Each structure stands twice: as structure tokens, then as C-alpha cells.
Amino acid sequence: MSELSWIDLALSSARPQAMGALLRYFRDLDLAEEAFQEACLRAVRTWPEKGPPRDPVAWVIFVGRNSGIDHLRKRARQEPLPPEELLSDLDDVEGDLAERLDGSHYRDDILRLLFVCCHPELPATQQIALALRIVSGLSVRQIARAFLVSEAAMEQRITRAKAKIAAAGLPFEVPDAASRAERLGVVAAMIYLVFNEGYSAGEARRADTPFCEEAIRLSRLLLRLFPAEPEIMGLTALLLLQHSRRSARFSADGQIVLLEDQDRSLWDRRAIREALALIDKALRHRAPGPYQIQAAIAALHARAETAAQTDWEQIDLLYQSLERIQPSPVVTLNRAVAVSKRQGPQTALDLIEPLADRLSGYFHFHGLRGGLLQQLGRDREAHDAFERAITLATTAAEAGHIRQHLDALARDIAVTAK
């Protein structure tokens, strides 16, 4: 590892806490970002020569704060810059600085930083973009590429999102327990969105934009701040389990490989083991929630050595409890897969037909419905359902997957016609 790359790592892992503290000082996202950038530039200039500071986070906060104050002064046409030697020579102060300034604040600092990205007026894609830019420090170019827009367009979106946040006023009061729990829930949902953005794309064009890894990193960060929250354990476990299948989810030519057809030897056992450890910890709290239940379902798949060994009964039961806690047609749709394995396609079809109105625009509804109809030998109806699905596909891989079904059906229908 080169010298610059360890400095990069140190700075990027310092980022959430340092940005959180700088945001608290300056109450302005742009100023906090500029201050952080300035501190990073100075780190790159001075660390190689002086060696790393004992506490990189405290160093970055201290230097960033000075540079931000300086910026404000310049804006007010007051005193000139202090000499860099004074700022860089922090050996004596950094020790207790972290304790004094941040020991008691950093948890709420980081939570606030995450929370401001989740402003309810911002659409999901902007929340994701903002979190990746501000908290994770991904470049605008990286984010733009993932969303398939130009860098200028993404820059503009982020600027608008920030303006909206600034206009709404940043939440600077120290939250009480109830609002802290509420923030935590909102932030967890945003992290899940970040993950899904990476997961559902999954194709080569997004391979170099590490949304899934960033989401896992944010989730672990949140868990370190709130180590006794079983839902955050559940969220982290869920993300790890979904991500553990990344190498098996697509064939070499970019086609979707269904869970039951995946080569399980390609699953990332290390991620699975960590997820199982987190689920074990969460269970002790006896406070089940949606993330824990979804993680438990994913864990049952991870534990099955072959698709045939999947414990569909337990998965069905878990989906039923998810339906009770968080009723949604999508949850019922997912349960229908387990039901079809246990009780056959007709029972599953009966379960999902009542969802037709609410899920008429949902790719997976028509995909599953087509599959069930096909199993029942109702090829013409299956064909229509797949046709509907293909128009709703959001990625080429989804469309390609349905196309295979349609081709297979066309062969069947042709054979029957003869």
C-alpha cells in the first residue's frame, strides 16, 4: 500500500465524524465540506513528512475548523491567514482535543449528518446522492455515472438538494430519546435505499460505483454508534447477506441467475458468517422488526447448502410475521414464492391475484404471476404476464431474464400447436 493510499483511507474513515463535527460548528453544509477538503489537502501535504497524527479524526476536525473560521474571517474581510506551521504542528493539542470537543457529541454529530440527507422533501434518489457525496465522500462523477446522468446534472441536483435542506433549517438541537430513535429509523431506511440502488442495478455499468459497499459501511457505522439496536444489527446483517451473493447473481454474459440456480460456492462465506453473528446478537433482544425478519429470511437461504434444502416453511412463517408488522403487497408477493414451494403454484396464484390492482405497475408481480401460470400449464396467460413484465423491466438484465421465459414458452406453444 502506498503512502498516499493509507492517507486516503485514514481521511475517508475520518470523514463522517469530522464532517459531523464541522457541520455542528458551522451549521452550513458547504462550509463544512470546504473546511474538510482544506484539512484533507493539508493532511496530504504534511502527513507524509511528519508521519500520521495520533488521532487523525481530531486532527482533521481541528485543522478543518481553523480553516473554516479563517474562511469566515476572510469573508468578513478581517484578519489574514494564520501561518501553516501553527496549524500543522498539532502534536500537543490533538490528544485531549478529541475528548474535549467531541467525546460527548460525535454520536449525535454523525447521526445528524446522516439525517440531514434524509430530508422528507427530497426524493429518494437525491437522498442517496447526497448521502454518498456528503457522508461517504464519493465524487460527483462517480455518483453521476451510477445514476446515468451527466456530471453537471448531478452537481446541480446535489446543489438543489443542499439548498432545500438549508432553507428548511438544519436540526441542531440535541435530540431526545424519541427523536433520536425516529432519526435512526429514517437514516436506516436511507441506507437501505443506497444499498438497493447498487443491488438492483447490479450490472457492469455500476460495477465500479460501490453503492453496496458504502451502504454496508454506513450501516456498520450506525451500529457502532448504537450498538444495542437490534434493528440496526438486522439491517447490517440483511445487507451483508444480500451482498454475499454478488458474484453469483449474474452470469458471465450479464443474465440474472435466480437464487435457486446460483452457484452457492460463489457466495461470500465471510460476509454470511458475520451476518449470522449479528442476527444471533439481535435475537437476544427479543424485539423483532422488519430488518431483522428480512435478515432472518435471507439467512435461511444462506444456510441452505442446496436450493432443495431451503426451509420454505420457516420462510413462509417469517413473511407472515413481516406482513403483520409491516403489511405491504410486496411482502405478500414475496411470501407467495414460499407458498408456491410448499403448497404449489395454484395456492400462490390465489394469494397474489388480489394484489393485481396495487401491483399492476410492478415488474416482479407480473414476472412471478407469469412463472406460476407457466407451472400450471396456462401458457397463453403466462405469455401475456411475461409480456407485461418485460415492459416494466428497469434493467436490461431484468428484461433479458423475462425474454428467456418468453422464448421457452414460445417453443412450448409451438410444440403444442403441432
Partner 1 sequence: MLYAVLCYNSEDAVAAWSREEEDKVMSDLAAVERKYAAAGKLGPVARLMPTTAATTLRKSSGESFIVDGPFAETKEQFLGFFLVDMETLDEAIAFARELAVANPGVGAYEIRPLRVFKPGGSLEAL
Q: Which of 10, 118, 212, 397 binds partner 1 (CB under 8 A)?
A: 10
Residue 228 sits in the site that holds partner 1 (CB under 8 A) = yes
Q: Which of 45, 74, 284, 324 binds partner 1 (CB under 8 A)?
A: 284
**Pick from 107, 110, 106, 105: nearest CA to 134:** 110
Partners of 250 in beta bridges: 256
Stretch that binds partner 1, among 191-199, 214-222, 325-333, 340-348 (CB under 8 A): 214-222
Stretch that binds partner 1, among 5-13, 122-130, 159-167, 361-369 (CB under 8 A): 5-13
Give the shortest CB-287-to-partner 1 separation in angstroms.
Answer: 12
How far, in Å, CA of 209 to CA of 211, rounded? 6
Q: Which of 153, 266, 277, 325 binds partner 1 (CB under 8 A)?
A: 277
Give the shortest CB-104-to-partner 1 separation in angstroms.
Answer: 13
Residue 220 sits in the site that holds partner 1 (CB under 8 A) = yes
**# residues near partner 1 by CB under 8 A:** 26
Burial classification of residue 223, based on how many CB atoms lie within 10 Å of its CB (0-12 exposed, 13-18 middle, 19 or more buried)? buried
How far, in Å, CA of 280 to CA of 267, rounded? 20
Cell numbers for 38: 482544506
Residue 274 sits in the site that holds partner 1 (CB under 8 A) = yes
Cell numbers for 27: 451549521
Cell numbers for 109: 454529530
Residue 108 sits in the site that holds partner 1 (CB under 8 A) = no
Residue 344 sits in the site that holds partner 1 (CB under 8 A) = no
Residue 153 sits in the site that holds partner 1 (CB under 8 A) = no
Q: Which residue has the cell 475520518?
A: 14
Q: Which residue has the cell 435461511?
A: 300
Stretch that binds partner 1, among 63-71, 176-184, 276-284, 366-374 (CB under 8 A): 276-284
One-letter identity of residue 3: E
**Which residue lies nearer to partner 1 by CB, 12 or 395?**
12
**Which residue lies nearer to partner 1 by CB, 217 or 401?**
217
- What number of residues does the chain have? 418
Residue 368 sits in the site that holds partner 1 (CB under 8 A) = no
Q: Assess contact for 411 and 374: CB atoms under 8 A.
A: no
Burial classification of residue 2, based on how many CB atoms lie within 10 Å of its CB (0-12 exposed, 13-18 middle, 19 or more buried)? exposed
Cell numbers for 323: 406482513
Run of H or E residues at 95: helix 94-97
Give the shortest CB-3-to-partner 1 separation in angstroms.
Answer: 8
Q: Which residue has the cell 448504537?
A: 226
| Binding-site ranges for partner 1 (CB under 8 A) | 1, 5-6, 9-10, 12-13, 52, 55-57, 217, 220-221, 223-224, 227-228, 233, 236, 273-274, 277-278, 281, 284
